[in-house]
């Protein structure tokens, strides 16, 4: 869910392992060379029951708040796993806790939570089959060189009066 730059890169890596990839985007459009199927977010409920892994990589907007809640978790296979690398607010953490405790899904991994950091007393820390990481999914040995190159390119464009990329679309919210 979320077939933008992060979802696209995830799909590229999944394909390298011969995984079947279905993308979910706002429009239902995206790079079809990496996905067997791309559906609009309106069809999310229809595809959840087919997934072994559901990866949330969508942006945080008014429309995506608690995008995954009890109804969506109920549609997932009992053998499925949920992974959230987007924002903690996209997931109803109480619903996830209940689904894990009741073994409705096989497991989950959260790189993001709401709030962040997750308080020490939060019951998610004791949830079965849950891995929580400290918002580090983007970190690699290439992160800072890529960020530096991006920043320098944008600064150069800014000072030369050229068009910028990676701009936030205020209407979309990301």
Choose the catalytic residue: 50, 66, 75, 135.
135
Q: Answer whether 111's CB lies under 8 Å from 138's CB.
A: no
Choose the catalytic residue: 9, 36, 116, 156.
116
State the Cα–Cα distance between residues 135 and 126, nearest whole angstrom: 18
Q: Is 157 a catalytic residue?
A: no
**Cβ-proximal residues to 30 (8 Å cutoff; 6+ apart), any chain:** 3, 7, 8, 23, 38
Q: Is 75 a catalytic residue?
A: no
Phi, psi of 55 (to 5 degrees): -110, 125
Q: Is 87 a catalytic residue?
A: yes
Active site members: 87, 116, 135
């Amino acid at each position: 869910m979320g077939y933008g730059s992060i979802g696209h890169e995830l799909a590229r890596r999944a394909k390298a392992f011969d995984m079947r990839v279905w993308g979910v985007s706002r429009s239902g459009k995206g790079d079809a060379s990496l996905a067997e199927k791309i559906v609009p977010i309106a069809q999310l409920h229809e595809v959840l029951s087919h997934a072994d892994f559901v990866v949330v990589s969508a942006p945080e907007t008014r429309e995506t708040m608690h995008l995954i809640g009890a109804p969506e978790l109920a549609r997932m296979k009992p053998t499925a796993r949920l992974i959230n690398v987007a924002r903690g607010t996209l997931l109803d953490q109480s619903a996830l806790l209940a689904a894990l405790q009741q073994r409705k899904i096989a497991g989950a991994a959260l790189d993001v939570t709401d709030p962040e950091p997750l308080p020490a007393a939060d019951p998610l820390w004791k949830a079965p089959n849950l891995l929580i990481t400290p918002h580090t999914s983007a970190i690699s040995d290439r992160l800072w060189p890529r960020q530096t190159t991006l920043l320098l390119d944008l600064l150069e464009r800014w000072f030369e009066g050229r068009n910028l990329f990676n701009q936030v679309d205020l209407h979309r919210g990301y």
